Amino acid sequence: MAEQADDLGIPMKARPSPATTVLPRVADLLRPGAVPARTPGPPQEPTEQSVGSHGHEVDRRTLIIGEGISLSGEVTSCDRLIVEGTIEAKLEKCQHVIISETGVFNGNASTENADVRGRFQGELVVHKRLLIRAGGHVSGTITYSEIEIESGGKISGVIEEAGPANVVPSLLPIRA
């Protein structure tokens, strides 16, 4: 069965388009109301915890500082902080801090995990894992339990590992 393209007058054969899954960009997933792409399958009912008061799917206790936004203050508790703009703050009791490429955080932060693609300057305490991505820069007084720095990531200042003093376990003899 042949059809003609509307504007070009070119005969075209109608073909069924293959099913493809387009994965969203990470930045799009971080936006409020973003729905992650799913592979085809039975629809899932939203849970009471995943639906906000207006019926939109949201992550609870997530604070997003959007690109071009500046915020100054104190954040006393959140599950996830996403910084795409600029924040100057004291942050306590946060599970995850994510600083995007355009994000800047100045101040003090205490978090379980941090993922830095932008800039952090100040005092940072990461109780679990600090990940500094390529292009990310962390400076100031940094305390962490586990750290990973990608090629191109930078860290400077007073840096120390959290937990008990750095004890070197007894060395075993080397065998040839």
Within-domain flag for 33? no
Parent domain of 154: 59-161
The per-residue pLDDT for 8 is 53
Query: Is residue 109 within 8 Å of residue 97, measured between CB atoms?
Result: yes
In one letter, which amino acid is 114? A
**Selection from 87, 85, 82 nearest residue 61 by Cα:** 82
Residue 17 lies in a domain: no
**117, two tokens:** 């693609």
Please, what is the Cα angle at 42 between 38 and 47, to 5 degrees?
A: 80
| Rounded-to-integer distance, Cα 57 and Cα 6, Å | 39
Q: How many domains does the chain have?
A: 1
Given a contact cutoff of 8 angstroms between Cβ atoms, the answer to whether 74 and 90 are in contact is: yes
How many residues are given for the chain?
A: 176
Triad 162, 168, 173: Cα angle to 5°: 155
User: What is the predicted pLDDT for the residue at 163?
Assistant: 72
DSSP state of 51: B
Segments of the chain with pLDDT less than 50: 5, 15-23, 26, 35-57, 165-176
SS3 69: coil
- pTM of the full structure: 0.62
Q: Please report whether residue 176 resides in a domain.
A: no
Is there a domain that residue 127 lies in?
A: yes
Q: What is the mean pLDDT of the chain?
A: 76
Note whether residue 52 is domain-resident.
Answer: no
Contact in structure between 99 and 107 (CB atoms under 8 Å) = no
Beta strand 119-132 with 137-149 is parallel
